[in-house]
Amino acid sequence: MTTPIFPHGSQIRPFILALNRKALRVPLWTCSSCRQRLPRTRNYATQHSSKPYYVTTPIFYVNADPHVGHLYTIVLTDILKRWQQLRGREAIICTGTDEHGLKVQQAARKAREPALVFCQKGAAVFKALAARAQVSTDHFIRTTDAKHRDAVEYAWFILQERGYIYTAKHEGWYCVSDETFYPEGSVHLIIEPQTGRKIMASIETGKEVQWTSEENYHFRLSEFKDKLLQFYEQNPEWIVPKSRMKNVVDAVSSGLEDLSISRPSSRLKWGIRVPGDESQTIYVWIDALVNYITEAGYPWSPEAASAGGWPADCQVIGKDIIRFHCIYWPAILMALGVPLPSRVLTHAHWTLGHKKMAKSDGNGVNPFFAIERFGVDAMRFYLAHDGGIEHDADYSNFYIIDRYKHSLQNALGGLTSRICRAKRWNVRNSVEWSQQLKDTEARDQQIHIDQRKQLEHLAQEVNDYINQFDVSGALQRIMKAIYATNKYVQDTEPWAHTVPGEDVPLPNPQVDLPIFLAVEALRIGGILLQPFMPDKARLLLDMIGVDEDKRSFDDAEFGAGGLYGTSKINLGKGQDGSLFPALTSEE
Q: How is domain 21-371 classified at the architecture level of CATH?
A: 3-Layer(aba) Sandwich (3.40)
Beta pairing partners, 355:
352
- Please give the pLDDT value at position 12: 36
**Residue-wise burial string across 33-68, b where 16 or more C-beta atoms lie within 10 A, e elsewhere:** eeeeeeeeeeeebeeeeebbbbbbbbbbbbbbebbb
pLDDT value, residue 501: 56
| Whole-number pLDDT of residue 437 | 59
C-alpha–C-alpha distance, residues 66 and 123, integer Å:
10
Over 70: is that where the pLDDT of 89 sits? yes
pLDDT of residue 361: 66
Please say if the pLDDT value at position 288 is more than 70: yes
- Domain ranges in the chain are 21-371, 397-577
Mean pLDDT of 470-477: 98
Residue 67 has pLDDT above 60, yes or no: yes
Give me the pLDDT at residue 584, please.
Answer: 76
Q: Provide the angle, in degrees to the nearest 10, between the axes of the packed helices 509-529 and 458-467.
A: 20
Collapsing DSSP states into helix, strand and coil, what is residue 492? Answer: helix
How far is it, in rounded angstroms, from Cα 511 to Cα 338?
61
In this predicted structure, the answer to whether residue 15 has a pLDDT above a threshold of 90 is no
Strand segments, DSSP code E, in 370-497 are 393-394
SS3 content of the chain, % helix, strand, coil (to 5): 45, 15, 40
Report which residue type is found at 511: V
Q: What percent of the chain has a predicted confidence (pLDDT) above 90?
A: 67
- What is the DSSP code (8-state) at residue 303? G
Residue 35, Ramachandran bin (φ over 0: left; ψ between -120 and 50: alpha; else beta) = beta
Closest C-alpha among 279, 286, 263, 280 to residue 336: 286
What local confidence, expressed as pLDDT, does residue 215 receive? 87
Question: Residue 178 — pLDDT band, cuts 50, 70, 90?
Answer: low
pLDDT band per the 50, 70, 90 thresholds, residue 48 = very low
- pLDDT tier at 445, thresholds 50, 70, 90: confident
Please, which residues have CB within 8 angstroms of residue 274's CB and are 6 or more apart in sequence? 5, 156, 217, 262, 280, 281, 282
pLDDT of the residue at 148? 97
Q: Are 55 and 295 in contact (CB under 8 A)?
A: no
Residue 442: the pLDDT is 59
In whole angstroms, give the CA distance from residue 331 to residue 329: 5
With beta carbons less than 8 A apart as the criterion, state whether 561 and 517 touch. no
For residue 346, give the 3-state DSSP assignment. Answer: strand
Q: What pLDDT does residue 45 have?
A: 36
240-247 contact pairs (CB < 8 A, 24+): 240/343, 240/344, 240/345, 240/346, 240/389, 240/468, 240/469, 241/346, 241/389, 241/390, 243/390, 244/319, 244/322, 244/326, 244/346, 247/322
Helix (H) or strand (E) holding 165: strand 165-175
CA angle 322, 324, 328 (to 5 degrees): 125
pLDDT at 131: 97
Residue 43: is its pLDDT beyond 80? Answer: no
Q: What is the pLDDT of residue 443?
A: 67
For 391-405, the pLDDT digits (tens) are 999 999 999 999 999
In this prediction, residue 303 has a pLDDT band, given cuts at 50, 70 and 90, of confident
User: Between 304 and 459, where is the model more confident?
Assistant: 459
Name the packing angle between helices 329-336 and 225-234 (round to 10°): 100
Q: Quick check: 221 pLDDT over 70?
A: yes
Residue-averaged pLDDT of the chain: 86
Does the pLDDT value for residue 214 go beyond 90? no
Residues linked to residue 180 through DSSP beta bridges, in sequence order: 175
- The pLDDT > 70 percentage for the chain reads 84
Q: Categorize the per-residue pLDDT at 580 as very low, low, confident or very high, splitting at 50, 70 and 90.
A: very high
Rg of the chain on CA atoms, in Å: 28
pLDDT the model gives residue 213: 67
Q: How far is CA 552 from the centre of its chain?
A: 22
Q: Identify the pLDDT of residue 364.
A: 83
**Given a cut of 60, is residue 241 above it in pLDDT?**
yes
Residue 29 has pLDDT above 70, yes or no: no
Q: Between 538 and 38, whose confidence is greater?
A: 538
pLDDT value of residue 41? 35
Edge-first strand listing for the sheet containing 165-175: 180-182, 165-175, 210-219, 259-260
Question: Can you give the pLDDT at residue 19?
Answer: 35
So what's the pLDDT on residue 380? 98
Q: Which CATH architecture has domain 397-577?
A: Orthogonal Bundle (1.10)
Which of the pair, 75 or 511, is modelled with greater confidence? Answer: 75
Higher pLDDT, 514 or 574: 514
Residue 42's pLDDT band, with cuts at 50, 70 and 90, is very low
What is the pLDDT averaged over residues 32-53? 47
Query: Cα–Cα distance between 166 and 179 in angstroms, integer?
Result: 21
Tens digit of pLDDT for each residue in 356-366?
887 666 678 99
Overall average pLDDT of the 184-205 stretch: 74
Q: Among candidates 412, 455, 419, 453, which has minimal Cα distance to 545?
A: 419
Host H or E run for residue 212:
strand 210-219
Q: Residue 3 pLDDT > 70, yes or no?
A: no
pLDDT at 199: 77
Residue 63 clears pLDDT 80, i.e. is over it: yes
β-bridge mates for residue 356, sequence order = 351
| Burial of residue 138, with CB atoms counted within 10 A of its CB: 0-12 exposed, 13-18 middle, 19 or more buried | middle
